[in-house]
Amino acid sequence: MKLKKLGRVIPFGYKESAEHGFLEQIPEEIQALDEAKNYLKTCSYREVAEWLHRKTGRYISHVGLRKRIKNDRTPEAEKETEGQSTEISQRDIKSV
């Protein structure tokens, strides 16, 4: 799967494609990132970022990992959020 390159920083799990202006996934890094999500349930971002660096050989800071997890736009992540309601409840409206 290819994504359009939006900035100069290439996100963890991707590399520049042969097509100019596009990125392609690195399956090993994407799989390691999925494993990292499970480790975050019991470990700190620093510990998991160090583990990712040792496993993949590609550096990611703990802050970068947090942003990558928070802003995950991979097809797998979108499938997880698919079907979740975005309706505003009456309680939310009253608090505004």
**∠ CA 55-59-62, rounded to 5°:** 100
Q: Does pTM top 0.75 for this prediction?
A: no
Tokens of 72: 């995950």
Using the predicted structure, report yes or no on whether residue 79 has a pLDDT greater than 60. Answer: no
pLDDT at 4: 87
Question: Does residue 39 or residue 79 have the better pLDDT?
Answer: 39
Q: pLDDT confidence of 74, banded at 50, 70, 90? A: low
Average pLDDT value for the chain = 82
- Tens digit of pLDDT for each residue in 20-47? 889 999 999 999 999 999 999 999 999 9
For residue 16, the tally of other CB atoms under 10 A from its CB is 12
